Structure 1
Amino acid sequence: MSSGLKEEKTKVSPHFAQFNDLASEAVGGKVLFATDDWFAVAENLLKRQDPEFKADLFTEFGKWMDGWETRRKRIPGHDWCIIQLGVPEHLPELPSRGKRMGTAASDEEFELITKLNSDTWEILVPMTELKPGYLESSHSYFTVRSKQRWTHIRLNIYPDGGIARFKVYGVGKRDWSAVGANDLEDLIAMANGGVCLGFSDAHFGHPRNLISLGRANNMADGWETARRLDRPPVLKVDDNDIVQVSGSEWAIFRLGHPGVITHIEIDTNHFKGNYPDSCKIDAYILTPEEENEAVKQKWNIKSDVKWKLLLPATKLKPHKRHFFESNSIQLHEVITHVRFTIAPDGGVSRLRFWGFPRFHLSKQHQ
């Protein structure tokens, strides 16, 4: 970890880095066990915000660091921790770790954690050399090929040292076999398998936050774009009081399950002076092959893929939950993907698509 982490990132992130961070404390991820927390506790790994570096700050245990840092090992073995992924599950609870800085795991904690047999778990990323925490080398990305559903991750570091943040990008996996055809579900929720696949701008907050758990804690917990500079110098509105601008921002999501949408919620909670003037929502059915191609093209997709209007242009208000029922929704057929467009710019905290899960037997084109 170094002061370079405070600087603007220049390395291009892989596409999967816009998926849901399933280990984040913001979605319920938590540390169950760590062999050592001497300089900085393992819980810091799961923070949403970027790590800080404070050159002159020290604790009684040494240099203050905003990450997980263990002492320099002088005994056999290596350091490791176990993380329970977020997206709520009915999993056995282990005792709270409490305040840990300056400590190592006790014999009792080791005995308890051995019941998970984590030393026999499947290897997702083999032992790999990491680079030091300078700007040009601090971020390491690894592609995981496994398609299996996982609930816990064991992070091993060899033999000791520090990591600032640990993110596990992926898609929540719901057991839809237990859901009835008439059960109303939030089909876009990350807990149900919804995922962001592309966006036009994420200057202040990523659109994946829109489908996170609960209501947003603050503006940073939502999606916010930069202020567009292509707006006219003097704004005008139409008969519906919607500001007339040529530009807009968008985010595209794959639903956790194909379905028919019956209710929509758009929440501008916390966005009081920077909420969008209006929004609209389009939908479509895409096959996995078409989705992959669209992602490669950054959603500059072929003209024969025509989005269908789900919710027409609608005026929004600040710091408010907006609810739309079936009489406001213009599309009542199975969809797999949605495009959420805001105009001209601004921030939204949450997006909910309530509907009935359905399977589609064939593609539906206009």
Structure 2
Amino acid sequence: MSTPDFTRRFINLASPRLGAVVTAATDDFFADKARLIDPADPVFIVGKYDDNGKWMDGWESRRKRTTGHDHCIIKLGQPGIIEGFNIDTSHFTGNFPPAASIDVCSSDADVPGSDADWQELVAPTDLNGDSHHYIEARSEKPCTHLRLNILPDGGIARLRVYGSFYKNWQPADYENEIDLVAAENGGRPIVANNEHFGILANIMAPGRGINMGDGWETRRRREPGNDWAIVALGHKGSVEGVVVDTAHFKGNFPSAISLQAACVETGTDTSLPVQSQFWQEILPKQPLTADAIHEFREAVDVIGPVTHVRVNIYPDGGISRLRLLGKLSAE
């Protein structure tokens, strides 16, 4: 199934491993609100029931017998700029809401109070059962909370919130070495020539990969050449060290990796693949091994501030994490 561009160029901000949590719901009688942001794809288990009825993999409220509607509140791990959503009703057929809307706000509380300035980001939108609903909607300001309104009741399997984290950099941050491409520092995927077994965004996630599916992995290459990807740093900076982790990739790790980089002043994400072929090499071709952390310092050519990095893997395969260590540029 083809998905919109924003699902590949941005990360899922509503990911528990990035600190997101479901903090409140008006009702979750049939299915726990926490399942709404479970990173795993929803499943349907025939014949599975609990004390309240049929077990469903998502958030589901009881049948409403009064006016009004149900809602659920998600707190992001840190402020983010939202670019789009996937409201997923997979496996909800006779119990999905006819419509939904989404509000956003910024608050320091787990559950924003009555004085919260909620702003509608997604107007009431018709939903279908057992379907993905991709909605492009950009927040003009960083937000910390989302309120998913279901009209009037029912169940949603998953909510994915695509965007990038907003960092309010402090003067002290410019003195310290950080991971310039980490998702929590505003890094984001741009494009990969192939993501058959694992998406590019995974390599920016915190911690080590939990399994082979928690990385970027391409299909087996049956033609000359090599696979590649482009990532954007969270802030312009100078790359001084590189860490490549092939955790869990044992029979399918790339034989080698190289990196190119540039300070991109103009253009669009779509124009980058052509330009990137001629970017300056900052890490010449280095061998990789299975299920291991590879650290590179002496081999890195520090060329000054850059904004984007091209990752070349030879000839194909998967890597779990990429860390681009360096300092922020004050330019």
Superposition TM-score, scaled by structure 1 size: 0.77
> Closer, same or farther in 2 for the Cα pair 1:68/1:259, shift >3 Å?
same
- State the shift of 1:115 in Å: 5.2
Residues 1:61 and 2:52 are matched in the alignment: yes
In the aligned structure 1, how far is the partner of 2:111 from the partner of 2:229? 43
Give the aligned CA root-mean-square deviation in angstroms: 2.1
Alignment match of 1:311 (pick from 283, 306, 315)? 283
In the aligned structure 2, how far is the partner of 1:274 from the partner of 1:164? 32
Match of 1:204 in 2: 197
Match of 2:29 in 1: 38
In the aligned structure 2, how far is the partner of 1:151 from the partner of 1:53? 31
1:285-324 residue pairs with structure 2 within 5 A? Answer: 285-287=263-265, 289-294=266-271, 299=273, 301=274, 306-324=278-296
Deviation beyond 4 Å, 4+ runs, structure 1: 112-115
Residues 1:182 and 2:175 are matched in the alignment: yes
Q: 2:174 touches 2:330 (CA, 8 Å); kept in 1? A: no
- State the shift of 1:141 in Å: 1.5
- State the shift of 1:88 in Å: 8.9
Point out the structure with the larger helix share: 1
In the aligned structure 2, how far is the partner of 1:73 from the partner of 1:225? 46
Point out the structure with the larger strand share: 2
- State the shift of 1:259 in Å: 0.9
Residues 1:348 and 2:319 are matched in the alignment: yes
| Secondary structure in 1 matching 2:278 | coil
Alignment size in residue pairs = 302
Match of 2:164 in 1: 171
> Closer, same or farther in 2 for the Cα pair 1:179/1:253, shift >3 Å?
farther
- State the shift of 1:265 in Å: 0.5
Indicate the structure (1 or 2) with the bigger Cα radius of gyration.
Answer: 1
Q: Mark the runs of 5 or more structure 2 residues left unpaired by the alignment.
A: 81-108
Q: 2:238 touches 2:305 (CA, 8 Å); kept in 1? A: yes
- State the shift of 1:345 in Å: 1.5
Residues 1:17 and 2:7 are matched in the alignment: yes
> Closer, same or farther in 2 for the Cα pair 1:165/1:118, shift >3 Å?
farther
Identity among equivalent pairs (%): 41
Alignment match of 2:245 (pick from 260, 267, 273)? 267
Superposition TM-score, scaled by structure 2 size: 0.85
In the aligned structure 1, how far is the partner of 2:233 from the partner of 2:51? 49
Matched AA of 2:154: G
Match of 1:332 in 2: 303
| Secondary structure in 2 matching 1:65 | coil
Matched AA of 1:199: A
> Closer, same or farther in 2 for the Cα pair 1:155/1:252, shift >3 Å?
same
Q: Mark the runs of 5 or more structure 1 residues left unpaired by the alignment.
A: 1-9, 90-111, 231-245, 361-366
Residues 1:227 and 2:204 are matched in the alignment: no
Alignment match of 1:116 (pick from 109, 113, 117)? 113
